[in-house]
Amino acid sequence: MQKIEIDPISRLEGHGKIAIFLDDAGDVAEAYLQIPELRGFEQFCVGRPVEELPRITPRICGV
């Protein structure tokens, strides 16, 4: 079984990787997306007026 790993993946705040496992015929047998940590940026939004969120969230994460 062959393994293809993309590490780190881009366009993601924080760390992450993709692991793709191919069978003997070259077809995808398994694929995994791994994001190991909780960033917790959502807590900045708790309790704030909804009108503020479009200004806050793009500054925290560019995705």
Delimit the domains of the chain by residue range: 2-60
DSSP codes of every residue in 15-53: --EEEEEE-TTS-EEEEEEE------GGGGTTTS-GGGH
Q: Mean pLDDT lowest for which of 5-9, 36-40, 53-57?
A: 36-40
Q: What is the pLDDT of residues 25-45, one digit of tens each?
A: 999 999 999 887 766 777 888
Q: How confident is the model at residue 53 (pLDDT cuts 50, 70, 90)?
A: confident
Q: What confidence score (pLDDT) does residue 14 get?
A: 63
How does the average pLDDT of the chain come out, rounded?
84
- Which conformational region is residue 47 in: left (phi greater than 0), alpha (psi within -120 to 50 degrees), or beta? left
Contacts of 44 (CB under 8 A, 6+ apart): 56, 60
Residue 57 DSSP one-character state:
H
